[in-house]
Amino acid sequence: MSALFRTLRATSRRAPSTMRSYATVTEGTSGANEFIKHREAIQHHAAKSAQLWRRITLYVACPAIVVGFLNTMNLMAEHEAHIEHIKHENGGELPERIVYPYFNKRVKDFPWGNHTLFYNPELNINPDEE
C-alpha cells in the first residue's frame, strides 16, 4: 500500500496545475454576453410574472372572496329565517329529532367527551339524551 501512496504523491506533485486562480473576460467571447442576456431575460420574466399574479390576486381573488362572503351571509340569513319559521309553527320549539340507532356509534371514548369535536348544542343532537 505504501508504494501506491508514494506513486500517487509523486504523480500529484508532477501534475501541472490546470486551474486558473483568476477570472478573465476576453473580447469576442459571446458565451458571457449570452449568459448575461439570459439572466436579464429571466429577471424580466420574473418581474412580469410577479406583476401578473399580483393583479390576479387584487382583481380576481379579493372580489371572489367578497362575493363568497356576501353569498354565505345571504344563505345564513335565509337559513335562520327558515329555522325561526319552523319554531313559530311548533310553538317556539324545534320539533323533536329522530334518533336512529346508528347515530353516535362509538367504538372508543373521545378524549373531549361523548360528542363530536365540533359539537354545537344548538345544532347537533346531544348523545347523552338518547
Residue type, 100: Y
93 vs 4, 48, 129, CA distance in Å?
96, 60, 17
| Mean of pLDDT over the chain | 84
User: Are the CB atoms for 114 and 106 separated by under 8 Å?
Assistant: yes
Tens digit of each residue's pLDDT (9 = 90 or more) over 51-82: 999 999 999 999 999 999 999 999 999 999 99
Dist CA 130 CA 97 (whole Å): 11
Q: Is the pLDDT of residue 33 over 80?
A: yes
For the segment 80-108, the average pLDDT, to the nearest whole number, is 88
For the segment 100-125, the average pLDDT, to the nearest whole number, is 84
Tell me, what's the pLDDT at 110?
Answer: 86
Q: Is the pLDDT of residue 8 over 80?
A: no
For the segment 34-40, the average pLDDT, to the nearest whole number, is 91
Phi–psi pair at 111, nearest 5 degrees? -65, -20
Dist CA 126 CA 116 (whole Å): 10
Bigger pLDDT: 27 vs 81: 81
Q: Is the pLDDT of residue 108 over 80?
A: yes
What dihedral do alpha carbons 79, 84, 87, 92 form, nearest 10°?
A: 150
